[in-house]
């Protein structure tokens, strides 16, 4: 094995959580509403903490530091689709 092969085969410690989140099936409208209400529709914006007019701390957007962001947004999307397609509800409040 060369060094390039070792770099490409990194261990993903979040793989079990990714798989678990991807396999969640939304089958209940109450749960679907809770998911849609608790997961924001957009990535929370970055913030700057200023002191005496100078930036002392810059917090990046939460989606850039959350390793499970894509899976969480996918779960929210599945919940919205369930409410719209299966339950026939208006989901415009969640968009």
Q: Where are the domains of the chain?
A: 20-94
Q: Which two tokens stand for residue 69?
A: 């962001």
The residue to which tokens 């957009």 are assigned: 42
Please write the tens of the pLDDT for every residue from 63-92. Answer: 878 899 999 999 999 999 999 999 999 999
Taking the C-alpha atoms of residue 24 and residue 78, their distance in angstroms, rounded to an integer, is 9
Q: Give the number of other CB atoms < 10 A from CB of residue 33.
A: 18
pTM for the whole thing? 0.76
DSSP per-residue string spanning 27-76? --HHHHHHHHHHS-SSPPPPEEEEETTEEEEEEPPHHHH-TTHHHHHHHH
Taking the C-alpha atoms of residue 41 and residue 93, their distance in angstroms, rounded to an integer, is 10
Please write the tens of the pLDDT for every residue from 42-68. Answer: 887 788 889 999 999 888 887 878 899
């Amino acid at each position: 094995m060369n060094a390039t092969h070792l770099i490409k085969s990194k261990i993903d410690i979040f793989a079990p959580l990714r798989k678990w989140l991807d396999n969640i099936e939304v089958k209940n409208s109450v749960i679907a509403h809770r998911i849609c209400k608790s997961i924001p529709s957009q990535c929370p914006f970055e913030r700057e903490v200023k002191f005496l007019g100078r930036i002392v701390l810059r917090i990046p957007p939460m989606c850039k530091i959350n390793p499970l962001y894509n899976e969480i947004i996918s779960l929210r999307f599945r919940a919205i689709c369930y409410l719209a397609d299966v339950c026939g509800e208006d989901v415009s409040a969640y968009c």
